[in-house]
Amino acid sequence: MAENEVFLTLAGLRKLETDLAYLREIKRKEVSTTSEGILHSGGLLASLEQRIRNLEYLRRHAKLIDARKMATDQVRVGHRVKLQDLATGENVEFLIVGSVEADPAQNRISHRSPVAQAILGCKVGEVVDIEVPAGRVVYKILSIDVGYAR
């Protein structure tokens, strides 16, 4: 994987493009017509332009991931993976996405996270021992699904 690649699902790409269009077409006008003074407006404008440049960079380097088109023989970015914690017996499920779309509260983990790094390339039935910030966890891979983010 190239260091500057930005993995995005189709939904993530659409959101990025919607945000970029909003910032360019609406927010720029709002900031330029603000009545809060030149210095404050200048700071807002600079901040807005930086955000636009960041989104443009992400868009230029975006690599669309469509798990629907990938085999589920091994874990890849874009797959939904069901794991069993062998210490507790608890099942967890993660969608592996690019860093931009990661949201651990929604079980959407970055492909660069310790768990994703440990399971990428693994197959159903494999057991992985993972060092995570809270300690060590041992997971068994129960299933790999195309479950892409909508």
DSSP 87-127: TT--EEEEEEE-GGG-BGGGTEEETTSHHHHHHTT--TT-E
Residues 43 and 65: their CA atoms lie apart, in Å, by 36
Please tell me the predicted confidence (pLDDT) of residue 41: 58
Cβ atoms of residues 8 and 65 within 8 Å: yes
Cβ atoms of residues 99 and 92 within 8 Å: no
Please tell me the predicted confidence (pLDDT) of residue 149: 44
Domains and CATH numbers, the chain: 6-64 (1.10.287), 67-145 (3.10.50.30)
Please tell me the predicted confidence (pLDDT) of residue 40: 55
Low-confidence ranges of the chain (pLDDT < 50): 1, 149-150
Claim: this prediction has a pTM higher than 0.85: no
Cβ atoms of residues 111 and 96 within 8 Å: yes
Please tell me the predicted confidence (pLDDT) of residue 133: 86
